[in-house]
Chains A and B, each alone.
Chain A
Amino acid sequence: MKRVAAELALTVRDARVRWIGAMLVLLLALTGFGAWREAQLYAAQAAQITAAERARWLGQDAKNPHSADHFGLWVFRPSAPLAVLDPGTEPYTGRMVRVEAHVFNDAVYRAVQDAGPLVRTGLGTIADIVQLVVPLAAILLGFSAFAADRERGTLRLALGNGAPPGRLFAARFAALLLVLILVVGCPLLAIGGLVMTGQDGADWQVPARLLSWIAVQIAYASVFLLLAMLVSLVARTARAALAAALVAWVLLCVAAPRLATASVDALAPALSYREVRARIDAGFRAHKTAEAGDERAREVLTRYGVDNASELPVDLDGLMMFENESHNFAVYDRELGAFFESLASQERAFAWAGLLSPRVALQALSQTLAGTDFAQHAHFVWSAEAYRRRISERMNGEIRDRPQQGRGRLIAGSELWQQIPPFVHAPLPFTQSLADARVPALVLALWLALLAGLSLPMIRRLKP
């Protein structure tokens, strides 16, 4: 403890440390505040448009229920509160989904056109800073830990007078880690606090997500701190240590993630979206031919034991529409289910690709804990689809159950519209996110263990 305090005192006297700290705090504060404002704006817009859409749905003219189904409405994906810290997949997926008859809107990779201005300007997010700039800062803090002492000659005096290398390393690591916690952890906590005051993210379990998210970022930063200190254990000069650590940074943070993406694409390719859509169309087409329709109509008459549609207790068109939709739902489930599963398995492969780069592991971990991962998006898409199907089934059911017997088309009014509840999306619970975070967390832990394991023998052999 005394050693840590002494190291900390020495560290904070270093002008370089103060500069790095100030820059990080400033950068995180500015970016975080910007993202928070952005999120507030988005939340307000989403609430406004959601209310307008609800009013538009309820206020629509009296019309045939199927026309109302086509009339449709827009639903919003609620942004995860911690998207302020890590927007994850949110900028690359649609924020609004149109709910309408027959069409499953999947809102995958809707990319830039409805992404926020922050992303459009390429200004960088908190996650970008934590993934790229914080490791750099950790390296700038750690590279001199032993190399500068070796170069100056103070390491000789210290080691020759009974400073145990293991404790020296531990104390220096602890002191630098405390600095990182102070200049990274605290600003992140403050931004998280800001997020919590503004939004009612109760079903997001924001505090638990925030704390685990920050812990993971600190763990990631310590990977690079350890790396820099490890290089510093053997480098002859501080300059050589810095150069080597920077090369490692480029490899791990810039080059390896590209390699990871390329290998995941090669080893676990996603299904082609166009082919999936073509298979869906084919599935519909086979069902939609005139002969198939006549066949199903005859089957219905047989089922009810009547010769003529006018003798049916139900509306034939409504019934057939209802049953056709069930068929379509099954096609969607099968084809888009496979498509989403291929994307999800890519995500899983990506988490393992973290073995190539801690940044890749962190990316997966960070999005999952923030609630902005692909799983959350897929969950939203399917819950919007479930809502759409409820509307279709209610509208088609209304037609089916009210046969008009030649009185023309059924016209429904606002009592029916009101039977459709507003869309409410419940995100995947935190426990689910934790389960999804297991692999990337393991991979990040492996990185820490690897570096700690490498440094142990080097610490024992520490020379002035």
Chain B
Amino acid sequence: MHIEQRELPQAEADNPVLAIRAAVKRFGARTALNGLDLTLRAGEVFALLGPNGAGKTTTINLILGFLKPDAGAVQVCGIEAGSDPVGARGHVAYIPEQVALYPGLSGIENLRYFATLAGLDLSVDASRRLLTEAGLPEEAQGRPAASYSKGMRQKVGIAVALARQARLLLLDEPTSGLDPSAAADFSVTVRHAAERGTAVLMATHDLYRVREMADRVGVLSRGRIVEDIDPKTLDHVALEHLYIERLAEITA
């Protein structure tokens, strides 16, 4: 990434970028989140690990203010996401699980349009750099997005998020549409963003990627984080073992 990161005052940098306290979210009789706690500081990469239906996307929707918690609090840079979602989202960049683009617009046009909506002014050159950075080949950048594969759309989504230079980056199953080499490139991109001070929350069930990307891994079970570990302290096998143990608890 060649975009300069905004300087943060020291005091602000010390405050958590994301603070979720005892968040509860119910869908009818079903409790998706049941007292979730999560604190994330600048520069940290947190992997939210859990099987399908564990509540990862729900957590992200709470942070974005797309859903309101039934109890508890979600704060982004000190802003309550439930009551001021627009303010909270001002600090967030987000790559949804399914990146949807305007099929009639090219990758560059899509990127520039989303940037404009966010109040950014992105030149064509800067857009090309970002898309290349995100791994979209030059020759594809000018083609209508209708012809893009899921992975290519994902890469445009990455560029949209990177252009934001936000304090918090939310990734919902970011590597699910990428081939292995693109996923590896993406890991590098995410690490770069973290080095520049971006806090990253990544929902995934991709155990393999977690070790090379995340500083912390949380295992989501029964609507709360039951394990918060440093993946470097465990080898692959141990991590997998732990995860499966937890999974067994959930399905039990």
Contacts and interface: CB of A to CB of B under 8 A. Distances in A.
B166 A154 contact: no
Contact of A2 (B89, B92, B121): B121
Contacts of B94: 156-157, 160-161
Contacts of A166: 86
B28 interface: no
B96 A162 contact: no
B93 A154 contact: no
A464 B66 contact: yes
B114 A153 contact: no
**Most chain A CB inside 10 Å of its own CB: which residue of B86, B104, B160:** B86
Contact of B86 (A153, A156, A164): A164
Interface residues of B, number: 30
A153 B100 contact: yes
Contacts of A463: 66
B89 A159 contact: yes
Given A162-B164, A162-B166, A157 B113 contact: no
B101 A161 contact: no
Interface in B97-138: 98-102, 104-105, 112-114, 116-119, 121
A157 B160 contact: yes
A148 B98 CA distance: 16
- Of A152, A157, A158, A463, most buried by chain B (CB within 10 Å of CB) is A157
A152 B92 CA distance: 21
Contacts, number: 81
A306 to B, nearest CB: 96
B166 to A, nearest CB: 7
A341 B232 CA distance: 91
A162 B116 contact: no
A154 B110 CA distance: 10
B170 interface: yes
A161 B86 contact: no
A3 B64 contact: no
Interface of A: 2-3, 6, 10, 13, 152-154, 156-168, 460, 463-464
28 contacts: A2-B116, A3-B117, A6-B113, A10-B105, A13-B105, A152-B102, A153-B96, A154-B100, A156-B100, A157-B100, A157-B157, A158-B114, A160-B89, A160-B92, A160-B96, A161-B93, A161-B94, A161-B161, A162-B89, A162-B90, A162-B93, A162-B119, A162-B164, A164-B90, A164-B119, A165-B86, A167-B119, A168-B117
Given A13-B104, A162-B89, 13 more contacts: A2-B116, A6-B116, A157-B94, A157-B114, A160-B93, A161-B92, A161-B160, A161-B164, A161-B166, A162-B90, A167-B119, A460-B86, A463-B66
